[in-house]
């Protein structure tokens, strides 16, 4: 695997763990819903947000800072994970660089190569949980495969 990153699947307890998400669109919303379901303490930085993100903030499910990303946001929040999910390539790259400089795992929505972790598709029931990512960025294949896994575990 010369030159290619090798990712190890890891399941960790996210209950109460801080996560910083930069961006307030549909991708951020999907990540937030998953992280909240696992008990994460989510902070979102974005001048704009989806209706769900606004409601989650109003209900104190997440923390929403309605502004653009600022240089020391990662240091201030001190998260275990950072997700860069803006529609601005430059901001996502800056977030990635700052997270890596702090040795914090980062997922970059628009650049697989800049990720130090991949956010998985989740399939779960009362007994099992599976997380799935693709080795080559095939999102359609992941979606199709996780649906099959859900069918099997929902049996």
pLDDT digits (tens, 9 = 90+) for 116-125: 999 999 999 9
For CA atoms 60, 67, 41, 119, give the dihedral sign.
positive
Question: Does 139 score more than 90 pLDDT?
Answer: no
Cα angle: 79, vertex 98, 112; to 5 degrees: 90
Query: Rounded to whole angstroms, how far apart are CA atoms 89 and 12?
Result: 29
Q: Please give the model's pTM, rounded to 2 decimal places.
A: 0.93
Could you read off the pLDDT of 6-33 as tens digits, one per residue? 888 999 999 999 999 999 999 999 999 9
Could you read off the pLDDT of 38-84 as tens digits, one per residue? 999 999 999 999 999 999 999 999 999 999 999 999 999 999 999 99
Contact 45, 22 (CB under 8 A): yes
Pick the residue with more confidence: 108 or 155?
108
Average pLDDT over residues 93-100: 98
Residue 94 pLDDT: 98
Q: Model confidence at 3, in pLDDT bands (50, 70, 90)?
A: low
Cα angle: 63, vertex 55, 147; to 5 degrees: 95
The CA distances from residue 124 to 101, 134, 155, in Å, are 34, 18, 12
Q: Give the residues across from 20 on adjacent strands.
A: 43, 82
Query: Rounded to whole angstroms, how far apart are CA atoms 93 and 15?
Result: 28
Question: Does 153 score more than 80 pLDDT?
Answer: yes
* Percent over 90 (pLDDT), the chain: 89
Regarding beta strands 41-45 and 81-84, do their DSSP bridges make them parallel or antiparallel, or are they unpaired? unpaired
Residues 6+ apart with CB under 8 A from 130: 122, 123, 124, 146, 149, 153
Contact 36, 62 (CB under 8 A): yes
Residue 42 pLDDT: 98
Residue 1 pLDDT: 40
Locate tokens 């307890």: which residue? 13
């Amino acid at each position: 695997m010369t030159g290619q990153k090798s990712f190890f699947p890891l399941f960790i307890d996210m209950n109460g763990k801080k996560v910083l998400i930069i961006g307030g669109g549909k991708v951020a919303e999907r990540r937030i819903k998953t992280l909240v379901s696992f008990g994460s303490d989510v902070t979102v930085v974005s001048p704009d947000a989806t209706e769900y993100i606004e409601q989650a903030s109003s209900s104190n499910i997440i923390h929403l800072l309605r502004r653009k990303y600022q240089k020391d946001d990662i240091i201030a929040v001190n998260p275990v994970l950072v997700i860069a999910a803006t529609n601005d390539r430059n901001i996502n790259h800056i977030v990635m660089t700052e997270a890596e400089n702090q040795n914090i795992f980062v997922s970059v929505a628009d650049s697989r190569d800049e990720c130090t972790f991949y956010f998985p598709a989740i399939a779960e029931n009362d007994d099992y949980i599976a997380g799935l990512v693709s080795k080559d960025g095939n999102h359609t294949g992941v979606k199709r495969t996780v649906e099959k896994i859900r069918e099997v575990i929902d049996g």
